Amino acid sequence: MSTKEIETNAIKMVAAGKGILAADESDGTIKKRFDSINVPSTEENRRSYREMLFTTKGVEDFISGVILFDETLRQSAQDGTPFPTLLAGLGILPGIKVDKGAKPLAGAPGETVTEGLDGLRDRLKEYYGLGARFTKWRGVINIGEGLPTSYAIEANAHALARFAALSQEASLVPIVEPEVLMDGGHSIETCHEASEATFKCVFDELSKQRVLLEGMILKPNMVLSGKDCPSRAGVEEVAEQTLRCLRSAVPEGVPGIAFLSGGQTDEEATAHLNALNATGPHPWELSFSYGRALQAPALKAWVGEASNVPLAQKVLYHRAKCNGSARSGSYSTAMEKEGVAV
């Protein structure tokens, strides 16, 4: 393990004014995205789409890292440049999703545990050789009647910590992603309770498994009302509840927290991040690691047509710029009017 390398890269990943683009959709997820715009999910279409994202002029001003899927890490731009090399040339760190997805947790109806630890050490060595400098693993926590159980929280926390320790052993920065889902009609208070219990358990496991906090990034959910809640909390309350939760659970040694968007609209995710940063300073950098909330407008503009690439790239640049401004609490809804209509 190169302690200096992972600490340096972790700081780069949460550099001021920047965040992480999650482009690590599994085959099933990217197919759903492409189905929504009536584009076949072929390897070449996936490659072309990702190249469009990565070659957006100026995107490196707001994007510090990109999470890739296994297929994408091995692909190249049209000119033959491997994607990891292309990104590194822009000063963007290439990363890789390494988990195998959430599967039903035995003996726990309605709950899951993420798989993928078998053979992970060898995969990590290969990924480092292919140019990856950080990794990501997602654990999923459901809220429902009697859920989450401590059993599910502990099972996922243990897996997240094992993943993180193995990643650091391979000189890769782990993005530890415990996601308490928005699905359901629960209140923001219920989300706070589940999130706090989850994050505390995760850091307890990280400590037990000797993970270097200075060489990792936390990718949590924000504390939100369930998407079916009849009276959803506003922007300021989301920021207040999220910060209260983080202060009680996240050690100050962690260099940065890169929030997932988790079902929020593009503008909601930006507004919430802005509100969080507007109340600083905080012990950690408060950043973003958005997938759909960065990509959705660009995907809609592209619709699989090469002639639409310039427009789609302008749309992506605008979304990245808005989130870059939210890193310092300087975003305003007026910035949305500067965007490109799709």
> Regarding beta strands 93-97 and 63-68, do their DSSP bridges make them parallel or antiparallel, or are they unpaired?
parallel
Establish whether 219 is a catalytic residue. Answer: yes
* 12, 18, 136, 219: the active-site residue: 219
From residue 230, alpha-carbon distances to 144, 195, 227, 271 in Å are: 16, 20, 9, 21
- Show the tokens assigned to 106: 């035995």
Cβ atoms of 155 and 142 within 8 Å: the answer is no
* CA 268/CA 124 separation, integer angstroms: 35
Q: How far apart are CA 261 and CA 220, in angstroms?
A: 9
177 is catalytic: yes
Q: Sign of the CA dihedral 341, 15, 24, 225? A: negative
Nearest C-alpha neighbor of 297 from the set 277, 275, 321, 325: 321
User: Which one from 25, 51, 111, 177 is the annotated catalytic residue?
Assistant: 177
Q: What amino acid positions are annotated as catalytic residues?
A: 177, 219
